[in-house]
Chain A
Amino acid sequence: QYSVILTFLSFQQRIEIHKLRQGDNLILGFSIGGGIDQDPTQNPFSEDKTDKGIYVTRVTEGGPAEVAGLQIGDKIMQVNGWDMTMVTHDQARKRLTKRNEEVVRLLVTRQSLQKAVQQSMMS
Chain B
Amino acid sequence: ISAAMDTESTYSGYSHYSGHSKKAHRQGRDRHKSPRSKDGSRSEKSVTIQTPPAEPLLGNDASRAEEGQDDNWGETTTAITGTSEHSISQEDIARISKDLEDSVGLDCRRYLGLTVAAVLGLLVFLTPIAFILLPQILWRDDLEPCGTVCEGLFISVAFKLLILLIGTWALFFRQPKADIPRVFVFRALLLVLIFLFVFSYWLFYGVRILDSKDTNYQGIVQYAVSLVDALLFIHYLAIVLLELRQLQPMFTVKVVRSTDGESRYYSLGHLSIQRAALVVLENYYKDFSVYNPALLTASKSRAAKHMAGLKVYNVDGPGNNASGQSRAMIAAAARRRDSSHNELYYEEADHERRVKKRRARLVVAVEEAFTHIKRLQAEEQQKAPGEMMDPREAAQAIFPSMARALQKYLRTTRQQQYHSMESILQHLSFCITNNMTPKAFLERYLNPGPTLQYDRDRWFSKQWTLVSEEAVTSGLQDGIVFVLKCLDFSLVVNVKKIPFIKLSEEFIDPKSHKFVLRLQSETSV
Binding site for B on A (CB under 8 A): 27-28, 30-33, 35, 37-39, 42-43, 57-58, 60, 89, 93, 96-97
Contact = CB atoms under 8 A, between A and B. Distances in A.
Contacts of A27: 524-525
A27 B524 CA distance: 9
B520 interface: yes
Contact of B525 (A31, A39, A42, A43): A31
Interface string B492-525: 0000000000000000000000000011111111
Nearest to A44: B520
Nearest to A95: B525
B519 A38 contact: yes
B522 A43 contact: no
B524 A38 contact: no
Given A30-B525, A97-B525, 12 more contacts: A27-B524, A28-B525, A31-B524, A33-B522, A37-B519, A42-B520, A43-B520, A58-B524, A89-B519, A89-B521, A89-B523, A93-B525
B460 to A, nearest CB: 64
A38 B525 contact: no
Nearest to B518: A39
A38 B523 CA distance: 12
A98 B524 CA distance: 14
B522 A57 contact: yes
A31 B520 CA distance: 12
B523 A58 contact: no
A56 to B, nearest CB: 10
- Closest CB pairs A-B (n = 7): A39-B518, A31-B524, A42-B520, A96-B525, A33-B522, A28-B525, A93-B523
Contacts of B524: 27, 30-32, 58, 60
A29 B524 CA distance: 7
Contacts of B519: 37-39, 89
Contacts of B521: 33, 35, 38, 89
Nearest to A28: B525
Majority DSSP secondary structure for residues of B touching A: loop
Interface in B444-463: none
29 contacts: A27-B524, A27-B525, A28-B525, A30-B524, A30-B525, A31-B522, A31-B523, A31-B524, A31-B525, A32-B523, A32-B524, A33-B520, A33-B521, A33-B523, A35-B521, A38-B519, A38-B520, A39-B519, A39-B520, A42-B520, A57-B522, A58-B524, A89-B519, A89-B521, A89-B523, A93-B523, A93-B525, A96-B525, A97-B525
Contacts of B523: 31-33, 89, 93
A106 to B, nearest CB: 11
Contacts of A96: 525
Contacts of B522: 31-33, 57-58
Interface in B178-222: none
Contacts of A42: 518, 520
A33 B524 CA distance: 9
B525 A32 contact: yes
Contacts of A89: 519, 521, 523
Nearest to B520: A42
A121 B481 CA distance: 71
A37 B516 CA distance: 10
Nearest to A57: B522
Contacts of A43: 520
Interface string B282-306: 0000000000000000000000000
A54 B520 CA distance: 11
Q: Which of B518, B521, B523, B525 neighbours the largest number of chain A CB atoms within 10 Å of its CB? A: B525
B521 to A, nearest CB: 6
A101 B524 CA distance: 17
Nearest to A90: B523
Contacts of B518: 39, 42
Contacts of A35: 521
A96 B524 CA distance: 10
B522 to A, nearest CB: 5
A12 to B, nearest CB: 20
Contacts of A57: 522
